[in-house]
Amino acid sequence: MISQPSLVDLACEEIKRLIANGDLGADERLFEPRLAAQLGISRPPLREALRILAAQHIIEQTPRRGYRVVSLSQNDVDEIYGLRYVLEKFALDQLIPKLPDADFHDLEETVTRMWDAARNDDAVGVFIANRDFHLTLVAMAGHRRLQQAYSTLMDQMQLYMSRNLSIEAQTHGGLLEGCKRHERLLESLRSGDAAAIAEAFTAHGERRYLPISAAQASIW
């Protein structure tokens, strides 16, 4: 059963897009009347959308002083990466027992996309494929709350990165190198060997998680 999305849902997506595009910068205030007019909706549905985004830590609200786009400090980035690592590790732990019956199709598709984009030097394409790879991986764990928490975290990072850094500057070690690491991780998953998976995952994330400067935030 499908239904047309409500204005609230549309507003959420559109505001996230505005932030990702850089139309709304870090620390920028969101004025309800202006934004409502810009989106062509009235304030009530917009306000509900803002509440949702605030709950996801994409914007923050201070009473009587409205909403503003969050600006991530170095500490914030460290927090996000640290939590992301833990959640993805947990996802793998949950996933490993299920691997024999797992369907790798979706995961393979993202890796294929990643290779294609990398060969065309399409950094944005690699970026998106990478994001989808990890979201798919976590989704395979079959843990709804985990998936939810993880994708919220990814959203926070993604919005920040597309705002502050050129994608190219964030691809440590080159596009093709990153593809290879994901390929290896996928292979280890196919093997189902827990030790190999742990190793591939650690190698994959080696330079990315744990003390990492905000300016060096990596897309992987």
Partner DNA sequence: CAAAAGAATACTGTCTACATTCAACGTCGA
Partner DNA sequence: TCGACGTTGAATGTAGACAGTATTCTTTTG
Residue 51: contacted member of DNA, a second copy, none (CB under 5 to 8 Å, by partner type): a second copy
Residue 57, classed as helix, strand or coil, is coil
**54 or 135: whose CB is closer to DNA?**
54
Q: Please say which residue, 89 or 172, places its beta carbon nearer to a second copy.
A: 89
Stretch that binds a second copy, among 80-88, 120-128, 157-165, 173-181 (CB under 8 A): 80-88
User: Which amino acid type is present at position 172?
Assistant: H
Regarding 214 and contact with a second copy (CB under 8 A), the answer is no
Rounded Cα–Cα distance for residues 137 and 106 (Å): 9
The closest of 211, 207, 214 to 172, measured between CA atoms, is: 207
Our finding on whether 86 is near a second copy (CB under 8 A) is yes
Residues 152-171 that bind a second copy (CB under 8 A): 153
Name residue, tokens 């502050």: 164
Which positions from 93 through 152 interact with a second copy, judged by CB under 8 A? Answer: 94, 143-146, 148-149
Please tell me the distance from the alpha carbon of residue 138 to that of residue 146, in angstroms, as a whole number: 8
Task: List CB contacts of 85: < 8 A, sequence separation 6 or more.
Answer: 205, 209, 210
Residue 64 near residue 147 (C-beta atoms within 8 A): no
Binding site for a second copy (CB under 8 A): 3, 5-6, 8, 44, 47-48, 51-52, 55-57, 63-64, 76, 79-80, 82-83, 86-87, 90, 94, 143-146, 148-149, 153
